[in-house]
Amino acid sequence: MIETVTPTSNSILDNEIDGMISVFTESEINFYESIKPSLNQLARNPSSESIQNILNISKSL
């Protein structure tokens, strides 16, 4: 049996974003910061619609 693990933290991604932040304008940073909680929630708890869209795309390949 294959065991998989889903990370509970995006620490690697957060570190990459923090390193890239210097190339963004202040308005881009503010926009990202405003949507970051919603993006994190979606990453942790995707909606049924999101899951269905992913499945539909993978079936079409």
pTM over 0.85: no
What are the extents of the domains in the chain?
Answer: 25-60
**DSSP for the chain, written as a single string:** -------S--HHHHHHHHHHGGGS-HHHHHHHHHHHHHHHHHHHS--HHHHHHHHHHHHH-
The per-residue pLDDT for 14 is: 63
Alpha carbon distance 46, 11 (integer Å): 19
- In tens, the pLDDT along 12-50 reads 566 666 666 667 888 988 998 998 888 887 777 778 888
Q: How far is CA 42 from the centre of its chain?
A: 7
Written as six digits, the tokens of 26 are 């202040």
The pLDDT value given to residue 50: 85
Q: What is the pLDDT of residue 60?
A: 86
User: In the prediction, which pLDDT does 5 show?
Assistant: 56
> Is the Cβ–Cβ distance between 40 and 10 less than 8 Å?
yes
